[in-house]
Amino acid sequence: MVKEIARQVEIPEGVAVTVDGNTVTVKGPKGEISRQLSYPEIEIRKEDSHLVVNSRLDRKRQRAMVGTLAAHIRNMIKGVTEGYEYKMKVVYSHFPIQLKAAADELIINNFLGERKPRSAKILPGTKVNLGKDEVVITGIDKEHVGQTMANIEQATRVRGFDIRIFQDGIYLVDKR
Q: Quickly list H helices, 25-160.
A: 60-81, 142-155
User: Cβ distance 41 to 30 under 8 Å?
Assistant: no
pLDDT number for residue 1: 46
pLDDT (0 to 100) of residue 66: 94
Per the CB < 8 A criterion, the answer to whether 96 and 168 are in contact is: no
3-state secondary structure of 11: coil
* pLDDT per residue rounded down to tens, the chain (176 residues): 467 788 999 999 999 999 998 899 999 999 999 999 989 889 999 998 999 999 988 889 999 999 999 999 999 999 999 999 999 999 998 799 999 998 899 999 999 999 999 999 999 999 999 998 999 999 999 999 999 999 999 999 998 888 888 889 999 999 99
pLDDT at 56: 84
Tell me how far apart the alpha carbons of residues 14 and 27 are, in angstroms, rounded to a whole number. 8
pLDDT reported for residue 2:
60
Q: Tell if the pTM clears 0.95, that is, is over it.
A: no
Name the DSSP letter for residue 32: E
